[in-house]
Amino acid sequence: MPLNLLILEGDGIGPEISAATQTVLAAADARFELGLAFSHAVIGFDALAQHGTTFPDVTWKACQAADGIVLGPVSHNDYPPKAQGGLNPSGELRIRLDLFANIRPARTHIGVPHPSRHEFDLVIVRENTEGFYADRSMYMGPGEFMPTPDVALATRKVTRQASLRIAEQAFVLAGQRRRKVTAIHKSNVMRISDGLFLDCVRQVRARYPEIEYEEQLVDAMAALLVRDASKFDVVVATNMFGDILSDEAAELAGGLGLAASLNAGAGRAVAQAQHGSAPSIAGKDIANPCSLIVSASMLLAWLGERQGRASLVDAARRIEAAVDEAIADPATRTPDLGGLLGTKAFAEIVAEKVRA
């Protein structure tokens, strides 16, 4: 049976890096005989112009029918209000498909300059469906409100169910890696909400005695990553803390252009670049597609593990290795990494290495 991958190109550099990603996926399909079938649906400003909303029903139906989704970056900060069709496709997918785990690896790469003083390889497992995010904390209405023109309030939702399942995800992943979990919190200030989160992580930890475990205050963790990120393996955090720390880790590893991300639920997953839509460089063929390419490889691995298809896992490993080989050579890098290759040319280089 074909494996249907839906590609949502998004805004800004989205179409360029999505095309680059499809080029690499097609190469993996040819080498490993994966049976991939690509389809496309419109989101973002193009969808707004065509359908009056940035996330139309026809696209949602395509998402429901797909085996996996590759989501390009979107310019949601520039969208009109929801009442005028301005939905954030990323947030909509996370909520509607219950993609509770945002898995963000960060590691240094051989030959690629990075500001960290140490080589490191870690994964931040971020809760994805609640927290301080306004579109994920309320059943109806925003999570932010202003009782007076001079007072703005924001609600933070932390539930036992969400905390338990993201902790479970972290410990399972740690068991496949270096067997260490670090839980991030600010319970010295947010005693109730982060207290509940830590309670749940500790409850899950009791079932994994073989996994080393520690807890870090979020501000201390920000400093410790700069000092020596190599001391960490799997980091589990609530939504906003995980979002901030994963961007920091990505920059320490060489930049957001290399930062992959997978939104995963119990039965569905969406590959998504960790960075934004970068409209200032859109259409110039200079965007680094690595983040979305490696995110797509994570999607293949996720599908392969759940379907028992070793070929998908092997293809994912080969794509990641091909990206590493390409960026290790200054002659085959994009401009953000000090190279001269354009987005399309870089994708072709990676595709050639995948096919080799």
User: Looking at 79, 133, 208, 213, which residue is catalytic?
Assistant: 133
Query: Can you tell me the distance from the alpha carbon of 144 to that of 151, in angstroms, rounded to the nearest whole number?
Result: 11
Q: Is 219 a catalytic residue?
A: yes
CA distances from 134 to 51, 182, 265 (A): 25, 26, 20
Q: Hey, which residues does 6 pair with through a beta bridge?
A: 39, 69
Task: Give the number of other Cβ atoms within 10 Å of residue 146's Cβ.
Answer: 9
CA 356 to each of CA 19, 51, 172, 176, 352: distance values in angstroms, whole numbers, following the listed order: 21, 43, 33, 28, 6
Q: Please calculate the CA angle 238-115-316 and round it to the nearest 5 degrees.
A: 60
Q: Is 57 a catalytic residue?
A: no
Question: One of 29, 194, 243, 324 is an active-site residue; which one?
Answer: 243
CB contact set of 253 (below 8 Å; sequence gap of 6+):
106, 107, 108, 109, 114, 116, 120, 259
CB 236 within 8 A of CB 59: no
E strands within the chain?
3-8, 36-41, 68-71, 101-107, 121-127, 144-148, 151-154, 180-185, 212-217, 234-237, 262-264, 269-272
Which of 121, 247, 285, 336 is an active site residue? 247
**CB contact set of 95 (below 8 Å; sequence gap of 6+):** 129, 135, 136
Among the listed residues 157, 180, 186, 231, the single catalytic one is 186
Which residue is catalytic, options 219, 228, 284, 329?
219
Q: Is 194 a catalytic residue?
A: no
* Residue 139 appears among annotated catalytic residues: no
Classify 71 as helix, strand or coil. Answer: strand
Find, among 59, 122, 132, 124, the residue nearest to 90 by Cα: 59
| Phi and psi, residue 22, nearest 5° | -65, -35
Please indicate whether residue 243 is annotated as part of the active site. Answer: yes
Active site residues: 133, 186, 219, 243, 247
